[in-house]
Structure 1
């Protein structure tokens, strides 16, 4: 069972927006046993859209389109779909009533003729009601291929996928089971892991595939199984992961389908009634941002301080000026002082502190670009480690964030 995702819009092709829709759609299709054969981004151009539809029809079973359904003249998708299907647009009264209700409740301006045009749909289409916007989704079929057109606004598309599209696809098609399990590892690189698990990987059955997904100091190992016997797939993957612990159990921290390392840290601390605080220099708030991205983080996270300048380390965290003068602002000694300072300031049980040089210039310190000192303060001690991550700023910051979580996780487990 193959699908193609087609995103329509010049704004994607010129890099004005990032195509997050395709990532979401691909993930949701995979959950129901549908493989994405291709993702295509095209212009708001009639011939380009027609060509893309014809080509997709000849290679996949399902074509999902997003974008081009707005009320303005540059949105031509509905008219082009009509041409492709030899169809005409007709007014759908239910959609029109929905548009008028949205305007009355949220917009408080008169509905214009341009807005009413959103209620025009191909006469042979099945209308998929968009409860969060004015542009409906449309389901059409041609030569045994299903075509679904959805608005490009992400939250509108996501709700249409979940409420309308996925249930209909599951009802219409018989699909294999696709089971994924992703192992999260910290502390070893991709090639080092591959060497350690070579025999284990060679023993995997043919219906299980392994993918290495490295990212800034951590490696995800994704096992994917496909078949018609769901229980066999699940049991086999679980057994193989159990075997994997004999090879790299010391670097496995969890499973992506369950929760992130930030959430695992949070659950452990919250269950103990303990709290975390963060002092960041070179990571610029990224650690705190990663923690507070999850609802409920206040149950274990007291807060953080971005003490980017040298002065702020002394003023806010109480780092001794003589310490900075003796060891420089980028040092194990200052990192430890920052961790203790923020731990005391926020009255937390644990603290993370980062100081270093992410680049591109040396700044206040004298260490090489890519050097980061990470300190962890616990109820009993404080320690710091030096790392040289990269000569690229974003890569250094990302690795420092991930390493900070790894170090804290190892300390509390």
Structure 2
């Protein structure tokens, strides 16, 4: 009995086959149907795109499963699935190249590769941070040495000023303590011209220099001003260093929060794809022309969530936007806005969907006005996809 009688059935089971979620018997039947010439020629490109998408999604940081999960899965498989013989026939040369490893082996290899890349990036970041810290420490040491030399220079100048001030004060004290004889000196009798020639004239009284005290006060004020300026400069340097360190700390916190957000988003993607087990439905949305835009929607019917992968979408003006619609029971219902990047691609996770495809017949994307909520989808559709009907 052929469990995959049509191309839509093969497309619907393609994600489960790539993830290794099919049973051995279903896997043999799927590979036999896939290597038929009419199916291989049509599905080769879609199979490569699906496998590439799964590899990208699987490159997220691994999440350790709960203890005993693998044993419980094996026990349930043995209880619900009869033993079958593994298929020994090789695929025909005309069939697309398939990765025959199990999904668990592929995920283990990808997790090991991701761990190795993560360790290399962490070592590079650690080396860069260590080098940056050494440069900052070197600059701080140079600044401290320069400030120390300036402080020593100012200290020497203060000591020289104090020494000169002490010398002037001692000289003034000696001059002030010397008695001044204001009586006229006794002159010898001027009996001859020779006596007048050898007699020295009287010396004038020496007045103490009162201006030196005022000059010493000005020197003291100048020294205190220089010291105050030095302390202010050192405090400003400390504030600049503190502000620089605070800025680097804020940048590190922002980068860490962004990394945590990316890891959480990847974990949600993996939970949506792998949580549905065999209940993941693939819907391909295509345009009217083969070279036009396209999209893939991975619908986890078990949890009622989906992921939309869009590529090749044209860039819209600022007043237009893309809208994803769903036809359920004949009524169009808007689901989510789609905003591709400059390359026309975007991955939209966490789309709320029904927990059953019953009544859902069509999914499509339209070009709508950015302002307001459209009452009905506009025509024509940018891409359109029909919900595949699963065979019992």
TM-score (normalised: structure 2): 0.20
Structure showing greater Rg:
2
Question: Greater strand percent: which structure?
Answer: 1
Larger relative contact order (C-alpha < 8 A, sep ≥ 6)? Answer: 2
TM-score (normalised: structure 1): 0.19
Question: Greater helix percent: which structure?
Answer: 2
